[in-house]
Structure formats: C-alpha cells, structure tokens
C-alpha cells in the first residue's frame, strides 16, 4: 500500500511538473522576446539594442562576447554641398534629347554633366567593437540568449563547471551609455579581460586611471576627408575581486559581479557644425553614469522606453506550436500557424523605431543605426525614393509620433540646403531634393542617372510632413511646415515644362525609380512625366491648397497650383489593363522590378480608391499582379501595404509569410528575414521591418478614405484578436477586439472635436452612433479629386467587387472615450 501511495505521489508530482513546464512554455511564448539556444556566429544573428544615438549588436559568445557599436553621427566627410553650375548648361540639351526619344544620349549626358561633380554622398560608419574575453568558457551548456522588446534589454545565460553565468546588456535611454552587467550564481567567479577596437586606419587607444579610451576620425571618401572625430570610453565597477587597467585592457579577477560602462561621443553638432568637444562629452557621459548602479540605470531606461512601447498591444490569436527558438519559428512560419510570431514581428518594428529614432537625434538611416562596416551597402544613407519614407510609415499609425521628429527635422534641413541646389543647378526658386541625402544634407543628384536623376524627393518628403498633420490636427505644426511645403512647390512650378509630344506639364528629366522603360533600347531610366512624379506633385499641390484654406493664407499661390495641376497628365490605364508606370504605354507584364513606384497613388497616398476610382483601383491591382510577390525584403514590405489597400487580407498575409522566410548564409539573393528578425534586402535594410509593421496595422485598420475602416483586410487565419492603441487620421486612438472575423468591441478616444465616421462589414451598437449620410465633414478624412483616367481602347478591365459596408457617424469631443459593440 505504501509503495502504491509513493508511486502515486511520484506520478502526481510528475504530472504537476509536466503541467508547470507546459505553463512555462506557454508563458515564454506569450512574452515579447526573441530568444535563441546558441550564440550568434555572424552579424545577422546578433541582437540589436539602441537608444536612438547609440547602437549595439550583441553576439553572446560565452568565451568572447562581442558588442559591435554604433553612434548615429559617425559619418565620413564633413559639411559640404554637391550643387554645381555645370548642370544648368546641360539641362536644356538633356530635355531635348528626351523629347526626341534619344534616351541613352540623354542619360549619358545627365550622368556626366548633371550628376554631382564632387561626391556621391558619404557613408555611415561603425565605431568598432567591445570584446570581453572569459578564460575557460569555451565549453558550456544550458545556453540561452534573448532580446526582450518589452523592456529593451538583452540577456545571455549559460553554465560552465556547474556555475550559471548571466550577462545583461542595455543601451540606456536616460543615461545615454551602454551598460553590461556580468554576474554568476556563485561568488568570486567573474574573471575577464575587456578592450575596444575599431576598423579605422588611424585610432588611438589610451589608459586614463580606471578608464580606457579609443579615439579616431572618420574615413576619406572620394577625396573628401572625414572630419568627424569620435571617442569611446569604458570603465568597470566590480563587487569583490581585483581589477586593473593597463595598455587599453580592463582586467577583472574573481569578482562577484561587474558592471561595464561604455560611452561614445563625436564632435558633430549639426550638419553645418563639427566643433563639438567630443572628449569632454565622452567623459561626461561616463562619469555621470558610473555614479549610478546597474539596477537604477535599468529602471530609468525601462521607464522611459515603456512610455512609448506600451501604447500599443497586439494579440492575433493563440497557436499550439512548439516553443522553438525564434530562428526556428521564422523558418516554420510559412508552414505552421504562428500568430504570436506575427504579433512579435509587428512589435519588433515598433521596438526598432524607438531604438533608432529619438527626438533631437538623427533619423533612421538605411540600417537604422546598426552597421558593422566602414563602407556599408548603399552607404546606409537616406534613400528618398521610398526607403527613408518607409522607415516612418509606422510612426504615427502605431502611436510613436515622437519618433517621427528626427525625420521632420531632416525635412527642415534639406529645405535649406536644397535652396542652393535649386538655384545653382536649375535656376529655380524653392528647394529640391533628389533621390538621396546623408548627414550633411546634400541635395544634388548622386550615383548614375539611372537612379540619381530623380528630383522629386522633396515632394515625397512633404507628403510625410502633411501626413503628420492629418494624424495630429496640430495647426501650429502646420503653420511651421507650410513654408517648407510651399518651397517644394515653388521648385516644381519653375522646373516643370510642357512636353511638346503630349502637351502635358511634366517633371523632366526624371525616372520611375529605379526601373528601365521600353523606350529606344529598353535600357534607360531617364524620361519625362512618370506616373509617380505626377502623383507626388499632385499630392504636394493639393495638400498645400488645403493648407491655405485651413490657415487662411496664400490663396493666390493656391490658384497658381491649380492652374499647373490642370495642365498635368491624369493617371492612365494601358493596353494590358495596367496602371501605366510612364506617360507612354511601355509597361511589360513580365517586368518584376522591385520598385512599384507608380502604385504610390494606392499606398502610401490615397489617390486610388475602390469607391472613387474603381478603374484605377483595378488597374493598380493588375500592375501589382504583373510585378509578382517575390522580391527584396523592403519591396515585400511595401506589397503587404498595397495588398491591404486592395482589401485582400489573405494576399497581404501571403506576402507577410514570404517576408518571414528565414534567410541563411547560403542564400545569396532575394528578400526575407534574418535569424535576428532584421529585414534582408539582401543585405540588411531596416525599411522592410518598418514596412511590414505598418502593413500589419493597415490590415486591421485604415483611415485614409473618408473615415476609419475596421478590419479592411483581415486575413482569414486571424479570426480572433485584440489591438489597442493604434492611431488614425483625425487624432483618434483605437482599441478593438474581434471574433469570427467581426468586430466585437470598439473603443475610440478623441484628441480633438469632430465627426468620426466608422466603416465596417458588420453592424455596431452603442450610444452616439447614427447612420452615416452624405460626405464626412471631418477635414482630416478627406476625399481626393483625381482626374478621370485615360483608358486604352484595348484595355480589358474587370469590375471591382466590394463587400457591403455599414457606415456610422459619431460626434466626438476631445478627451472622451466612446465604446461600441458588435451586434
């Protein structure tokens, strides 16, 4: 009997342990963590930390930890302008050649005489790395590594010789240093050597009492000397044991715990000024930080971070997949239902934006702030023909408006540098921005004419400025940005000319980024009047016209813009039923180029609508089908948004599956996701992460066309879910749950008074709802008056089929929350 009871007790205890282990697995799944059971071997397996200014990639090797470090202002070069007078002489000839159909000659002349004569922009550069070497830690077990995006910290745990070692790393938001805590579950076990190194040719390592420093200067590129000076500084605080600093190495023996403090500073003040005292700054950062212990720094860091991150939560349902490491879950995403991974990916994009774009700092570049090279691909600059703008698609939508500020500041600065470029190169008023800029805010065309001869970056940048106004309703902000928008429009009024072949007012020379067209030999990009240019200028002009009404000023200028708009080409539907990419019907259904520039009017703009412009809507869908799904990572991120705007949630989800495809070192091309969840262009580009975060939000809610549309592109697999904290145009904040693919509960909080129109496929009930009639009088939910498209006689268009919508109006007051329920 006793044996029987003992056996039952053992079975019971085993069942309890199995249950608890299962609960731990579920708990681990529900946490917002990227986790791994092995160290990073390559950079695209390391985990990114950042506080806007400082970035760190954590590798987590037990024997030799590597922290690859960045500081946002370590760029090659120095203040400069790449505007030049040679362009003004070449411009009429280039235009004449384009109008005559001699595109290759035009492109060659633009490359030689309009492209920058000095430099093609400067690269963003790495600081270097900190290494921490632990003797005897080569043989380890029970390995665990994570990135916790709920509190913006990274952790490494493993066992050596029966001792459990832990590392916790963060890039402190409040204290502006990198901090590493080293500990063990037994006293006296922390022994290591630590040092900094950098790939720059000339660096100086020194020892100052208990601190080591590494100083240097950025690279010379295209004959332009790098004049950004930087210094990294490191020290250690230890509990027990002994520590020494000698020959640039910090050595610790037999400590109970150690905290490493690392600071980096540069002489960069702003794009015109590099006179900062970088040595004093690096010392001040460190001295202030070491007055605090790790836990205090962490508490302040988490508090700051979470006031942004915790604004939005997302639950897309539960699965029963194994609690695999993140890398394995990415690998399996296209074959197993893992809604938690999709939600994690969404929040990872928000985490990255908070971590690389803080108010008062630089905007996120092509790699955010994370780069391990002196000469990274595309120099990690700001590519303005989509990539830089894509970085900020989630900013307002996912309740991170403050993170948008560095990009708004970039607009303020290029509006200044672009005035000189517009006048010198084109004898035009206003300001111009071509397809790329850098920390020095150059605005002239760079690279080959195939991509560089695109003068419409300023228009897209102004669309971003306008979108922020639509989300916030801040008229003081609108007054501030209005001169920037007006300056961009003044440039186009001066720069555009009449095409003698079509009679339309066109932007020329330009291109449809970065695609070749079917004119002449089919190898040129340069042309006139591309669809994307027309869409961008249309948005710029119409937004300014609306702003003049809101601000009651510059009505005469608005009339000038309307006259110009009347002379521009409408969007056109070509022979294949496609939305034409160019003024001439050159589109090839077999063209699978990564850019889908002519679909800007569908997303991120709202010129193409299933309700207002059904022919253009169907033509845009045809164009997207021709392009295909397979592409680079950022392009797939764009296509998630496009399919969401086409109201096809399952196709948008299919693109999300394609993007969450694991990219391994053996894969040499094509997009997807690296093991650390960063986007693969290839190589790494951060815009794909941000594009997909915005795309997931667009699948759940859209607010670009006359109101707020709920669950407009919900994938059939996300039958139940909850999202809280999304922002809409008009300044509304949204909490929503759904069951059986229908809205079950909705809470809306208004930041300003106004009429809120709701649109959804299932009915609602609740106080304050009334059936919508006529136009929405809320100025933030507006309808665009697009010219009737020109449709080729041979085009075959399908009729657009739309679901039945219920529409409700709610008169809302600022600060109040309204709750509704599904019937």
Cβ atoms of residues 422 and 428 within 8 Å = yes
What average pLDDT does range 694-714 have in this prediction?
A: 97
Token code pair at residue 13: 């205890």
Choose the weakest-confidence range: 172-176, 190-194, 291-295, 681-685.
681-685
Cβ atoms of residues 226 and 220 within 8 Å = yes
pLDDT the model gives residue 207: 95
pLDDT the model gives residue 17: 36
Confidence label for 240 from pLDDT (cuts 50, 70 and 90): very high
pLDDT the model gives residue 31: 81
Neighbours of 178 (CB within 10 A): 27
Choose the weakest-confidence range: 297-306, 348-357, 640-649, 799-808.
799-808
Cα→Cα distances 159→18, 33, 758, Å = 23, 21, 56
pLDDT the model gives residue 7: 46
Distance CA 200, CA 75 (A): 12
pLDDT the model gives residue 527: 97
Cβ atoms of residues 729 and 703 within 8 Å = yes
Token code pair at residue 589: 């259904």
Question: Bridge-partner residues for 146, per DSSP?
Answer: 35, 155
pLDDT the model gives residue 33: 97
Percent of the chain with pLDDT over 70: 96
Checking if the pLDDT of 127 tops 70, the result is yes
Residue 318's contacts (CB-CB under 8 Å, 6 or more residues apart) are 339, 340
pLDDT the model gives residue 12: 42
What average pLDDT does range 10-27 have in this prediction?
A: 38
Q: Are strands 313-315 and 721-728 parallel, antiparallel or unpaired?
A: antiparallel
Distance CA 342, CA 660 (A): 9
What average pLDDT does range 524-550 have in this prediction?
A: 97
What average pLDDT does range 229-242 have in this prediction?
A: 98
Checking if the pLDDT of 65 tops 50, the result is yes
Token code pair at residue 457: 């970056």
Tens digits of residue pLDDT in 245-271: 999 999 999 999 999 999 999 999 999
Distance CA 103, CA 511 (A): 11
What average pLDDT does range 514-528 have in this prediction?
A: 95
Sign of CA dihedral 319, 321, 326, 330: negative
What average pLDDT does range 140-166 have in this prediction?
A: 98
Confidence label for 550 from pLDDT (cuts 50, 70 and 90): very high
Distance CA 53, CA 360 (A): 10
Token code pair at residue 599: 């679909």
Confidence label for 668 from pLDDT (cuts 50, 70 and 90): low
pLDDT the model gives residue 322: 67
Checking if the pLDDT of 379 tops 80, the result is yes
Domains of the chain: 32-76+129-310 (2.70.98.50), 83-117+357-569 (1.50.10.10)
pLDDT the model gives residue 459: 98
Under DSSP, is residue 441 helix (H, G, I), strand (E, B) or coil? coil
What average pLDDT does range 402-426 have in this prediction?
A: 98
Under DSSP, is residue 743 helix (H, G, I), strand (E, B) or coil? strand
pLDDT the model gives residue 783: 84
Token code pair at residue 483: 């001169």
pLDDT the model gives residue 323: 84
Confidence label for 666 from pLDDT (cuts 50, 70 and 90): confident
For every residue of 636-692, DSSP letters joined together read HHHHHHHHHHTT-HHHHHHHHHHHTPBP-TT--SS-EE-TTS-EESSSB-THHHHHH
Distance CA 467, CA 304 (A): 26
Confidence label for 765 from pLDDT (cuts 50, 70 and 90): very high
Of residues 11 and 420, the one with the higher pLDDT is 420
pLDDT the model gives residue 15: 39
Checking if the pLDDT of 22 tops 80, the result is no
Cβ atoms of residues 322 and 214 within 8 Å = no
For residue 758, give the nearest of 767, 749, 769 by alpha carbon. 769
pLDDT the model gives residue 19: 40
Checking if the pLDDT of 122 tops 90, the result is yes
Choose the weakest-confidence range: 459-463, 564-568, 774-778.
774-778
């Amino acid at each position: 009997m006793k044996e029987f009871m003992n056996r039952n007790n053992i079975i019971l205890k085993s069942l309890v342990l199995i249950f608890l282990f299962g609960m731990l697995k579920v708990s681990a799944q529900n946490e917002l963590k990227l986790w791994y059971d092995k160290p990073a071997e390559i950079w695209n397996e390391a985990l990114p930390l950042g506080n806007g200014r400082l970035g760190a990639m954590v590798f987590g090797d037990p024997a030799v930890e590597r922290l690859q470090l960045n500081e946002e202002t370590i760029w090659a070069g120095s203040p400069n302008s790449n505007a030049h007078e040679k362009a003004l002489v070449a411009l009429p000839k280039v235009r004449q050649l384009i109008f005559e159909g001699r595109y290759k000659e035009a492109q060659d002349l633009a490359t030689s005489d309009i492209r920058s004569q000095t430099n093609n922009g400067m690269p963003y550069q790495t600081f270097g790395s900190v290494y921490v070497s632990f003797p005897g830690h080569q043989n380890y077990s029970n390995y665990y590594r994570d990135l916790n995006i709920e509190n913006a910290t990274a952790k490494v745990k493993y066992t050596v010789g029966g001792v459990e070692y832990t590392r916790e790393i963060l890039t402190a938001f409040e204290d502006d240093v990198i901090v590493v805590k080293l500990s063990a579950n037994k006293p006296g076990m922390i022994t290591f050597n630590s040092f900094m190194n950098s790939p720059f040719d000339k660096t100086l390592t020194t020892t100052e009492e208990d601190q080591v420093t590494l100083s240097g200067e950025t690279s010379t590129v295209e004959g332009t000397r790098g004049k950004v000076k930087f210094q990294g500084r490191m020290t250690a605080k230890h509990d027990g044991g002994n520590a020494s600093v000698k020959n640039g190495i910090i050595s610790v023996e037999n400590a109970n715990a150690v905290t490493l403090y690392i600071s980096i500073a540069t002489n960069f003040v702003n794009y015109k000024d590099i006179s900062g005292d970088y040595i004093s700054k690096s010392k001040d950062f460190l001295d202030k930080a070491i007055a605090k212990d790790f836990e205090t720094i962490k508490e302040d860091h988490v508090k700051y971070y979470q006031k942004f991150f915790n604004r939005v939560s997302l639950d897309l349902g539960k699965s029963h997949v194994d609690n695999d490491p993140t890398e394995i879950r990415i690998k399996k995403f296209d074959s197993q239902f893992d809604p938690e991974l999709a939600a994690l990916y969404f929040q990872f994009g928000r985490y990255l934006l908070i971590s690389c774009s803080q108010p008062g700092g630089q905007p996120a570049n092509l790699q955010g702030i994370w780069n391990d090279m002196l000469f990274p691909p595309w120099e990690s600059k700001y590519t303005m023909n989509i990539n830089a703008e894509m970085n900020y698609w989630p900013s307002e939508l996912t309740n991170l408006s403050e993170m948008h500020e560095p990009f708004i500041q970039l607009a303020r600065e290029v509006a200044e540098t672009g005035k000189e470029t517009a006048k010198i190169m084109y004898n035009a008023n206003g300001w111009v921005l071509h397809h790329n800029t850098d920390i020095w805010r150059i605005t002239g065309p760079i690279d080959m004419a195939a991509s560089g001869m695109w003068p419409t970056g300023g228009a897209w940048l102004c669309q971003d400025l306008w979108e922020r106004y639509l989300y916030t309703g801040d008229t003081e902000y609108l007054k501030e940005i209005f001169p920037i928008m007006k300056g961009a429009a003044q440039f186009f009024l001066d720069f555009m000319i009449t095409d003698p072949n079509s009679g339309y007012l066109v932007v020329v020379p330009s291109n449809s980024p970065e695609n070749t067209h079917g004119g002449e030999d089919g190898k040129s990009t340069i042309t006139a009047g591309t669809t994307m240019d027309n869409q961008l200028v249309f948005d710029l002009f119409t937004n300014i016209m609306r702003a003049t009404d809101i601000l009651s000023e510059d009505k005469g200028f608005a009339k000038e813009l309307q006259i110009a708009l009347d002379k521009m080409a409408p969007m056109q539907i070509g022979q294949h039923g496609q939305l034409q990419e160019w003024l001439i019907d050159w589109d090839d259904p077999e063209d699978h180029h990564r850019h889908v520039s002519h679909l800007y009017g569908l997303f991120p703009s709202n010129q193409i609508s299933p309700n207002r412009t059904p022919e253009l809507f169907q033509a845009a869908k045809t164009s997207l089908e021709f392009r295909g799904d397979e592409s680079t990572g950022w392009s797939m991120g764009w296509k998630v948004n496009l399919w969401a705007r086409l109201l096809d949630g399952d196709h948008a989800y299919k693109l999300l599956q394609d993007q969450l495809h694991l990219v391994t070192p053996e894969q040499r091309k094509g997009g997807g996701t690296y093991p650390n969840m960063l986007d693969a262009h290839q190589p790494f580009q951060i815009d794909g992460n941000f594009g997909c975060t915005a795309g997931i939000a667009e699948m759940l809610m859209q607010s670009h066309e006359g109101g707020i549309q709920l669950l407009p592109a919900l994938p059939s697999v996300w039958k139940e879910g909850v999202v809280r904290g999304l922002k809409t145009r008009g300044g509304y904040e949204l909490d929503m749950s759904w069951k059986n693919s229908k809205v079950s509960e909705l809470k809306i909080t208004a930041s300003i008074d106004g009429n809120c129109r709701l649109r959804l496929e299932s009915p609602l009930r609740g106080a304050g709802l009334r059936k919508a009639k006529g136009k929405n009088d809320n100025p933030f939910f507006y309808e665009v008056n697009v010219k009737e498209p020109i449709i080729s006689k041979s085009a075959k268009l399908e009729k657009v089929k739309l679901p039945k919508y219920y529409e409700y109006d709610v008169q809302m007051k600022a600060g109040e929350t309204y709750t509704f329920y599904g019937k």
